[in-house]
Amino acid sequence: MMKFNRLDTAVVFIDPQNDVLSENGANWAAVGASVAENGTVENMERIFKAARDKNYLVFISPHYFYPTDRTWKFNGPLESDEFRTGTFARSGPLNLAGFTNSGADWLDRFKPYIEDGRTIIVSPHKVFGPQTNDLVLQLRKRGISKIILGGMLANMCVESHLRELLEQGFEVTVVRDAVAGPRHPDWGDGYKAALVNYRFLAHAVLRRPKSLPRWTENRE
């Protein structure tokens, strides 16, 4: 089991935003059942609290689309759907007009943690992984080598972050009930697909217990 130390370990949350975690979000029909069954929001909040109480750094890798992104010449199926539904849409990179309580905004119950003046919010990733933002730079600048990973979506942005962070030489633990995935009648259950790959790839796959701040490894 990985040993965590606040000097070299940080929490990284992907897309803790309304469009994928709120009942009013653009993607709730696809992800809501998985979020509810996993207790994703509650478990993410437990991790936020444990990180604050134990003085661990927390990094947020958000997903934003600006109006100019709509001029992209090609997109995958999920990207196309995100543009169609206005998922993670913002009015522009240099202002926050219309951001508060929008689908791109943080879930309300996470705001006291994210907006605490200590949490590091990195630049947005644009497709799924951190290759298009400064997450790795921000981690390395703080001497972080181990990551506790959670957020949304399990089989898309979280798995893409996992793969790239492994390639960059980080040790990564995924908290399996601090993520959730979409369900599609033809494409399948994204959460179940992600769990298979987490077990093959991550250094540890943990279940978040109700007691704080203990962590227990669980690969089942």
**Residue ranges per domain, the chain?**
9-217
pLDDT tens, residue by residue, 105-160:
999 999 999 999 999 999 999 999 999 999 999 999 999 999 999 999 999 999 99
Tell me the average pLDDT across 23-35. Answer: 95
Q: What percent of the chain has pLDDT over 90?
A: 75
- CATH assignment of 9-217? 3.40.50.850
* Region class of 77: left (phi > 0), else alpha (psi between -120 and 50), else beta: alpha
* pLDDT of 219: 41
Which one is predicted more confidently, 86 or 218? 86
With a cut of 80, say whether residue 83 has pLDDT above it.
Answer: no
Predicted confidence band of residue 208 (pLDDT cuts 50, 70, 90): low
Predicted confidence band of residue 1 (pLDDT cuts 50, 70, 90): low
SS3 172: strand
SS3 186: coil
